Amino acid sequence: MAESSGASAPGDGYELVYRNTRLWRLRFLQLVFWGPAVFFAWLAWATRIDDPTNNHVASLVLSPVSALFALMIEVYIRQYATAVWRTKDAMRIESMSTFGRIVQTFPMANVTFGRERRSNPYATRAATGFWLDNSYSTIRVYGRRLPFILDTTADRPTG
């Protein structure tokens, strides 16, 4: 669930206004996309000699295709905000990177907030068979091509 809190980092004057608790799901998805890319590259290399069926050729094709999807998820995770802090004059946004997180600070004059949007769970279920009820909001920053994504989907209670 996305949380809002009045907590701030000690001594820096920024107030925490958003914290994403769903980011580990995206880390898992990152591994799901990179895993096949690495596996198919290894398989192409391991079966390149004495392969009368040319299975390594299929792996040579599947490896870059898998890597392309993995690179697309890398672009997405850099837009996925995990925490947002603000002061009167600036906003600090933390997003994910391949092996950690990126924290960037922007002047409030360059920041525009988008409205909250929801997926249509009925259309998603009709198309895929899965019930997905997701919501998100965006933060656009002047000079950035893509907006930051704030996942506002609430987690289902467990138990």
pLDDT of amino acid 120: 79
- Taken in order 28, 61, 56, 49, the sign of the CA dihedral is negative
What is the 8-class DSSP label of residue 33?
H
Give the model's confidence band at 51: pLDDT under 50 very low, under 70 low, under 90 confident, else very high: low
Task: Name beta bridge partners: 18.
Answer: 84
The answer to whether 145 and 76 are in contact (CB under 8 A) is no
Q: In whole angstroms, what is the distance from residue 80 CA to residue 23 CA?
A: 8
Instruction: Give the global pTM.
Output: 0.74
Query: Which residues does 58 contact at the CB level (< 8 Å), separation at least 6?
Result: none
Nearest CA among 87, 86, 88, 98 for reference residue 150: 86
Instruction: Give the model's pLDDT for residue 156.
Output: 53
Q: Which amino acid is at 71?
A: L
**Whose structure tokens read 């001594």?**
11
Closest CA to 97 of 74, 66, 81: 74
Residue 11: pLDDT above 70?
no
**Is residue 137 within 8 Å of 116, Cβ to Cβ?**
yes
User: What backbone phi and psi angles, to 5 degrees, belong to 143?
Assistant: 100, -10
Residue 71 has pLDDT above 90, yes or no: yes
Q: Which tens digit of pLDDT belongs to each residue from 57-67? A: 788 888 899 99
Taking 50 as the threshold, does the pLDDT of residue 152 lie above it? yes
Per-residue model confidence as pLDDT tens digits over 112-148: 988 888 877 788 778 888 777 777 888 999 999 999 9
Contact (CB, 8 A) for 128 and 135:
no
